[in-house]
Amino acid sequence: MKTVRLTMAQALVRFLDNQYLDVDGREIKFVRGVFGIFGHGNVVGLGEALVDGAHGLTYYQGHNEQGMAHAAIAYAKQRRRREIFAVTSSIGPGALNMVTAAGTATVNRVPVLFLPGDVFACRQPDPVLQQVEQFSDPNVTANDAFRAVSRYWDRIARPEQLMSACINAMRVLTDSAETGAVTLALPQDVQGESFDYPEEFLRRRVHHLVRRAPTPAEVARAAALVAGKTRPLVICGGGVRYSGAERALEGFCAAFNVPFAETQAGKGALPWDNPWNLGGLGVTGTRAANGMAREADLVIGIGTRLGDFTTASKWLFQNPTVEFLAVNVNSVDAHKMGALPVVADAQAALTALTKALTKAGYRSAYTTQVRDARRRWNAEVDRLYAQDDPAGLSQTRCLGELNEHLLPKDAIVIGASGSLPGDLQRVWRPRATDAYHMEYGFSCMGYEIAAALGAKMAAPDREVFALVGDGSYVMLHSELLTSIREGLKINVLVFDNSGFQCIDNLQVSQGITKYGNEWRRRDPKTGLLTGDPVPISFAGNGESYGARGFTVRTLEELRDAVRQALRETRSTVIDLKVTPKSMTGGYEAWWRVGTAEVSANPAVVEASRRQKAEVAKARPV
């Protein structure tokens, strides 16, 4: 057996450079590069291996560990999980900064390889700089925090351990059912230790995207369930996009007269004007989708994990005869809500189920309900798009202008947190493939701008717009600098409504005194955060990094700013001064929150009573 003498870090880089994914007969280089911030815990080990240059991995310098990992998530998401980035940091605070992003990747089922530096495996210099000491267990380091948010976790304590760890890492990263964050903790001494690695380990390795087909028994059970129902509703989840099952879904719905509603991850799989598309479902859903869901006697989930925003905390489906059918590559997701499970690839399952139901001569009992619901909802969106706010520039009017008149039809729109995801799921009208990019599994503030960078890397010929609230912008915008340095133009639209207004809405809706969610100075008389508003120039902040900045207070200024931004070759920041509370409200949905049962405020007690009344209507499973 031939071997090559390499450091552990050098072997890791060579291994990653030779990983490929076979997707329906087409081989794709799986690991495209590495995002990193170097420190003493990785610069002399993994850093040396990366700077060597005897590989095809591109190294990108990040400016915040969480931000660069968000960019890696967005890249993989935009590429439909068929290409990934690794991310590396030093030990301690650098590593811990990536834990939130690891959670974001895992919740959203997006593959990212995390390579945090770790303390010395030999323990001789302990405690080293930035080491978190656990006095009762020296085996525990800061990197153990990744265990809770990783699909696979390992610590490479000896250089030869790298081989089994890397093969397991690729097994999980390329598995549609199990994918998410994979963490290989790299002790800083072991990174530089050498071993005679077999050439077999370093050779080109091809993994395969396996389309798990449903068993004949699964198809028969599913077809029998559908055939006995008259008012089915499909939920289109992210699994439809990752499987490439858009045409299969469209054919299924058309063949059997079945409408579909969308999750945040599934929105845009088919365009907004598809005749079976009812729009977003659940807490941030449309009246069309939520109304049909309330009456449905069968809910067919395709590639969705059925989170509480999608199901309205399991409250949405009120038909006493309703049953659930779930198609998912992940067995856990397929069994949620007490569903009849079909553990299979979305495209394969829809194809098989379409064949079985066609043979059975099935068709739903809907007549004009779907068309009428769509017509009424489209009229509501048109109203929101055209509605002026006497107090200034409204958020929904801005979205209407952007969607209908200003952005290119294939522009990629990014969102993640605040009130914008709710408005986008309700009123945004996607017209192109992979143009709606929402992180709403974790609803992670600070994702948007870094994600715009990752999406731009994945689709360099398309305009990318990060739609971000002022709160999320303040929290994390450092990868704006990366975009400028790399010449990767992104457009950041900051909807400045002076604070965390969606949480302010939640606070007030539960009878709680309005407090602590707006950008206000501390009142010197009361000592409370109820003083004058704090003015912020986000355009000025963007310009300080080298972006082109625009401040917008009117529709004409918005139109002019976007047109100029589209002509720019560098990144832009458009600071939209929108009026607070100008987002959309709920449409026939409910969300379970833990309102205080005991309070000196009667309004809070009443809100708690209302919560309990609605909880009684929710499904227990």
Instruction: Output the domain CATH number for residue 29.
Output: 3.40.50.970
Query: Which pair of structure tokens corresponds to residue 217?
Result: 């028994």
How many distinct structural domains can be found in the chain?
Answer: 3
SS3 53: coil
- Asked if residue 398 and residue 428 are part of one domain, the reply reads yes
pLDDT, position 499: 87
Predicted confidence at residue 507, as pLDDT, reads 86
d(CA 159, CA 303): 39
Contacts of 97 by beta carbon, 8 Å cutoff, 6+ apart: 64, 65, 66, 89
| Residues of the domain holding 332 | 216-373
pLDDT in tens, 225-255: 999 999 999 999 999 999 999 999 999 999 9
pLDDT number for residue 504: 84
The whole-number pLDDT of residue 26 equals 97
Q: Residues 453-469: what's their mean pLDDT?
A: 98
In a domain, 599, yes or no: no
- Determine, yes or no, domain membership for 521: no
pLDDT in tens, 572-599: 999 999 999 899 988 999 999 999 999 9
Residue 128 confidence (pLDDT) above 90: yes
Among 159, 174, 208, the domain-final residue is 208
Sign of CA dihedral 120, 123, 126, 127: positive
What pLDDT was estimated at residue 195? 98
Higher-confidence position of 183 and 513:
183
Let me know whether 88 and 180 are in one domain.
Answer: yes
> Going along 119-259, which residue ranges are E strands?
152-155, 181-187, 194-198, 205-208, 232-236
Question: Which residue, 157, 185, 208, sits at the end of a domain?
Answer: 208
Residues 264 and 402 in one domain: no
Does one domain contain both 265 and 293?
Answer: yes
* Domain membership flag for residue 517: no
Secondary structure of 383-411 in the HEC alphabet? Answer: HHHHCCECCEECHHHHHHHHHHHHCCCCC
- Residue 141 is assigned to a structural domain of this protein: yes
179 and 44 fall within a common domain: yes
CATH code, 251? 3.40.50.1220
Which residue is listed with tokens 């399991």? 314
Residues 6+ apart with CB under 8 A from 346: 239, 240, 242, 243, 245, 248, 249, 302, 303, 327, 328, 329
**Claim to verify: residue 436 and residue 308 sit in the same structural domain:** no
Q: Where are the beta strands (DSSP E) in 249-348?
A: 260-262, 277-280, 298-302, 323-328, 340-343
* 177 and 230 co-located in one domain: no
Q: How many CA atoms lie within 13 A of 615 on its CB side?
A: 10
163 and 290 both lie in a single domain: no
| Residue 546 counted as domain residue | yes
Q: Tell whether 288 and 360 lie within a shared domain.
A: yes
- When pLDDT is cut at 50, 70 and 90, the band that residue 519 belongs to is confident
> Which residue, 167, 260, 185, 210, is CA-closest to 21?
210
Give the per-residue pLDDT at 511.
86
| Residues 176 and 313 occupy one common structural domain | no
pLDDT, one tens digit per residue, over 34-92 is 999 999 999 999 999 999 878 999 999 999 999 999 999 999 999 999 999 999 999 99
What's the helix, strand, coil split of the chain in %, to 5?
40, 20, 40
Backbone angles phi, psi at 91, to 5 degrees: -85, 175
User: Percentage of the chain with pLDDT > 90?
Assistant: 92
End position of a domain, from candidates 152, 180, 208:
208
Secondary structure (DSSP) of 89-137: E-STHHHHTTHHHHHHHHHTT--EEEEEEE--SS-TTPSPTT----TT-
State the chain's mean pLDDT as an integer.
Answer: 96
Name the band, by pLDDT with cuts 50, 70 and 90, for residue 515: confident
pLDDT score at 602: 92
**pLDDT value at 326 more than 90:** yes
For residues 350 and 256, state if they share a domain.
Answer: yes
Distance between start and end Cα atoms, the chain:
55
Strand partners, 576: 495, 552
> What is the maximum alpha-carbon separation in the chain?
79
Residues 443 and 323 occupy one common structural domain: no
Rg of the chain in Å (alpha carbons): 25
